[in-house]
Structure 1
Amino acid sequence: MSAASSRHIVIVGAGVAGLTAAALLAHHGYRVSLFEKQSVPGGRAAAMTWDGFTFDLGPTLLFMPDVYREAFARWGGDFDREVPMLRLRPNYRLNYADGKNLVISSLLSETMRSLEAFAPGSSDGFLRYFADAADAYQRSRRLFVGERIRSFAHFLSPERIAALFSTGAFRHLGAQALRSFGDPRVAGAFSFQSMYLGMSPFDAPLLYRLLLFTELGEGIFFPLGGIGALPRALDRAARSNGAQIHYDTEIAEVERSGERVVAVRTGGGERIECDAIVLNADLPYAYDRLLGDPEHRSLRMRHTPSALLVYAALEERYDDLLHHEFLMPSDLRRTCTDIFERGRIPEDPAIYLCAPGASDPRMAPPGKEALYLLVPAPSLEGVVDWAGKRDAIVDRALRIVEERRLPGLRSRIRWVRSRTPLEFQNELSLNRGSAFGLSHDVFQIGPMRPDNRHAKLKNCYFAGASTRPATGLPLVTLGAMQSVERICEELG
């Protein structure tokens, strides 16, 4: 019997990072028990089917598939076989209030033609801007997120310091985009992607133009069956490797002795001994509620805002609706100010639409559509009365979509469900209802982001959006691989 096989590791949370860690640790020979309080895998990336309509409940875009290929290959799996997917073309359509639209495609010539039709002359700076985005991506992938940051000294190497300056860590994304394109609408089209990380493009470091490369250089993908196909495949892999997975089982307490975790207790009172623990729960929540450390710095760090998610079952789909579309506000800066500074729902919100039936008709009954809306919104730190005004806020979002893009929308709706920051906090245990975890400003990345191991409890590890390296499905997958590498080094 190997040393690993005699050691029991408990994982709390079946998000993508928790499931990746479970599959890898089980492959390395550890006895793995994963506990998830929800009934399905995925955490924020879970999916549900109601009345034949399948909805991804959180993320709907898949980027950086090479990360998942690497993860699956580590246990001998084949990601492309386990999670068959389509590369979308075009990526999405941006719709503006004046009736004009801009189509963004990973085929750059298509994007440039659309740019010229939308704002003549605006394509002149596009290739340079894209090349700089590609450079930022390659440097960041190699130097900032591709390997575990072990210390400040490790992070602050001459090469990394130079890269921080050259990639624009101390300049603003929105300002550079405006200088590159002139037209504020085009600048917004190539900088709003920072909102994927819960950051305003007007405050986000220029470094995050790398997100544009993930979209245009590598492409946007859709797993057949939705993003939920990814955690389902990870669940299968973890079980196949020998992990035990327990859904509908909440971990209520982490028991420690000295500088080690020795057991966990379920909400039902069962005590499970362990040799190490991986917490895939939201890191500030984990420190506060599970580890009994309400003064941990993560609870004082800057959190991202949140989102209103709307799931609408349509009796009839719209044939001209792309898989991904955005309704762009007339003044993106004012919209971001409302969300990020004033903590309120904007009068002119940005709205993202996802119509997966455009790529996979099986996501809804024949001829129908599982329409998904996302409206960036403040977290529970804001001034929005989510409990009292949820229905009015949802109805207003649907009305805006109906007026600007989908005529007759509300008459096609069979039913509507929604998720607000209240559900992010109460159901997913996300501190402050922040949908994306801790913010990614320049002082909350690298070694300044919470470590993936507890400073005092030497067998307590973390994986997920609020630890290193960052939020987003591919990056939490990278983070899970880094946490597992550390466990194997330190636990043996």
Structure 2
Amino acid sequence: MSTKFNEKQPRIAIIGSGFAGISAAAYLAKQGYEVDVYEKNEDIGGRARQLITDNGYIFDMGPSWYWMPEVFEQFFNDFGFKASDFYELDLLDPGFSIVFKNNEVLSIPANFEELLKLFERIEAGSAEKLKSFLEEAEYKYKIGIGKLVYKPGISLMEFADAELIKGMFKLQVFTSFSTHVKKHFKDPRLIALMEFPVLFLGAMPEETPALYSMMNYAGLKLGSWYPKGGFGKVIQAMKVVAEQQGVKFHTNAPVTALKIAEEQVKGVHSSIGSKDYDGVIAAADYHHIESQILPPNYRNYSEKYWENRVLAPSSLIFYIGVNTRVNQLNHHTLFFDEDLKQHAQEIYKTPKWPSKPLFYVCCPSVTDPNVAPEGHENLFILMPLAPDVADPEAIREQYFDLIMDRLEAFTGTQIRNHLDYKRSYCVREFIEDYNSYKGNAYGLANTLMQTAHLKPSIKNKKLNNLFYAGQLTVPGPGVPPSIISGNVAAKQMIKYFNR
């Protein structure tokens, strides 16, 4: 897409250097724009930063699931590269494991035929039902990832597409995810396996549209992958691509205000000074931009609007270095040895610290020896949690011990006796590091009333050269959607200059 310049290259500021911000910057710079990225933290990457310790551990601080590899590939292809030019991808086998009551383990094979056999062993007839379920999910995935996620959500007319209208019934936007799963499977272990991605999508399975079964297709059919060196390698690769287009990154440079005149943003004020710009893409926390950076008369939404949004969870995370090997763990292990519904209720319905939490353990050192010293283990432990709860150290420690009791019983390793490094991360840090609204970790819940054009608008309605990107706007939470969000926001900015 060509850009019509009047007298000079348009100069664009991007606020935030997560996946959405780097993506937007790269796409704009490719079209000839002069782009500066402002990052409040010392390192770029947003939630995908890495924590590198003095004693040899490399922790991914946030994302750890590499699903939808073609979205990453498309980004690099758009600039004449392949992902393999920057990092090596491993297909995980098993893709992940789920631990149920009495330490019963369900390991999900990468091979689809083996997966069908596994389902059939658990529930007679379920292999054929899984095929049917994933055929429907594949259709949703191809429409969702191929079309829906690239819609800016500014007008309902975007959906006046013959294929979308024809396929609306098949997309199952108005059917609940829970109803859809239970129509196919009866065994509670299979139901938990199919419903687990919803815990991170941000709503009860009963309130999430069945459209999101496309996540099952992504995880079970396209596979779980791992970028050698961790997600920090992906961020660095995207940074290289952006810099080759001419993007400049400014770290330790929080934006404090915008210069506004004549219904336009004219520049940004940051901790490193003031600079004039022809447009801004806010890829930082949407609510923070609205409530702290923009004057009230230029905000899209009131505080009451934000209070009424359904947020995806926050998380209690532990980054753990262990100076011995830990048996029984795969790269991804989900502990569903307590009731999923109860934990979800305590996140979404009666927000509080969970009484019997589920949790997730990522052990990348199983796959990648470079993320921990030799003979040691790198553990990332995450417990989904309601946002906006108090998280003092005493409660964090209480839950650390609760989780360790179960993890040590499962692995047969006294992990607490072998701690080499330990750090917790919770609501407070999400707010401090990312200005995250109420300390959420995953943006807005993917409920029906917060899907597509019902999400916070990608465009500021009062300032015609201010756009938004990231997990609180379209297409939604997750790494691939954030990369796409930056692309969509960049296209809207280009459209503004081509008007």
Q: Which TM class, normalised by the smaller chain length?
A: over 0.9
Q: Kindly provide the CA deviation profile for residues 296-334 of structure 1, in whole angstroms up to 9, marking residues without a partner as x.
A: 644542221211111001101224421111111332212
Q: 1:408 to 1:202 in 2, by over 3 A?
A: farther
**Corresponding position of 2:336:** 328
Q: Which residue of 2 aligns with 1:396?
A: 402
Aligned: 1:295 with 2:298: no
2: CA distance, partners of 1:360 / 1:385: 32
Instruction: Quote how far apart the aligned CAs of 1:477 are.
Output: 0.9
Describe the shift of the 1:42–1:277 C-alpha distance in structure 2 as closer, same or farther (beyond 3 A).
Answer: same
For 1:36, the equivalent position in structure 2 comes to 39
Structure 2 letter corresponding to 1:12: I
Does residue 459 in structure 1 map to residue 465 in structure 2? Answer: yes
Please tell me whether the aligned partners of residues 101 and 118 of structure 1 are also in contact (alpha carbons under 8 angstroms). no
Coordinate RMSD, CA, aligned: 2.1
Q: Could you tell me how far 1:245 is from its partner in structure 2?
A: 0.6
* Distance in 2, Cα, partners of 1:415 & 1:277: 40
Letter of the 1:331 counterpart? D
- The runs of 5 or more residues in structure 2 that have no matched partner are none
Q: Structure 1 residues 265, 146: CA separation in 2 closer, same or farther (over 3 Å shift)?
A: closer
2:316/2:396 contact within 8 Å kept: no
Shift of the alpha carbon at 1:362?
A: 0.3
- For residue 228 of structure 1, give the secondary structure of its aligned residue in structure 2: helix
Give the residue type in structure 2 aligned to 1:264: V
Which amino acid in structure 2 is aligned with residue 209 of structure 1? S
- Which of 245, 253, 278 in structure 1 is aligned with 2:281? 278
Q: How does 1:145-224 map to 2 (within 5 A)?
A: 145-155=149-159, 159-224=163-228
Q: Give the AA of the match of 2:373.
A: P
Could you tell me how far apart the structure 2 residues matched to 1:299 and 1:15 are? 25
Aligned equivalents of 2:180, 2:137: Cα separation in 1: 12
Q: Distance in 2 between matches of 1:295 and 1:106?
A: 46
Partner of 1:449: 455
Q: Distance in 1 between matches of 2:147 and 2:364?
A: 35
**Are residues 475 and 329 of structure 1, via their aligned partners in 2, closer, same or farther at CA, if it must alter by over 3 Å?**
same
What TM-score results when the alignment is normalised by the length of structure 1? 0.94
**Cα gap change, 1:393 to 1:222, in 2 (>3 Å):** same
Task: Report the counterpart of residue 3 of structure 1 in structure 2.
Answer: 5
Tell me if structure 2 keeps the 8 A contact 1:198–1:306: no
- Counterpart pick for 1:489 among 482, 491, 495: 495
Which amino acid letter does the alignment assign opposite residue 287 of structure 1? E
Alpha-carbon deviation of 1:103? Answer: 1.3
CA contact (8 A) 1:15 1:45 kept: yes
Q: Deviations over 1:386-421 (max 9, x none)?
A: 455222222322222222345312112122101101
d(CA) in 2 for partners of 1:111, 1:121? 13
Greater shift, 185-194 or 75-84, is seen at 75-84
Relative to structure 1, the CA distance from residue 405 to residue 351 in structure 2 (aligned partners, 3 Å threshold; closer, same or farther) is: farther
- Aligned equivalent of 1:438, options 433, 437, 444: 444
Alpha-carbon separation, structure 1, partners of 2:115 and 2:372: 30
Give matches, 1:6-85, under 5 Å.
6-50=9-53, 51-85=55-89
| Greater relative contact order structure (CA < 8 Å, 6+ sep) | 2
- Relative to structure 1, the CA distance from residue 45 to residue 145 in structure 2 (aligned partners, 3 Å threshold; closer, same or farther) is same
Which residue number in structure 2 is paired with residue 140 of structure 1?
Answer: 144
Q: 1:385/1:18 Cα in 2 relative to 1: closer, same or farther (>3 Å)?
A: closer
The residue type paired with residue 404 of structure 2 is: L
The question of 1:345 aligning with 2:353 is answered yes
TM-score (norm 2): 0.93
Q: Distance in 1 between matches of 2:211 and 2:341?
A: 19
Counterpart-to-counterpart distance in 2, 1:385 and 1:131 = 43
Instruction: Determine helix, strand or coil for the equivalent of 1:112.
Output: helix
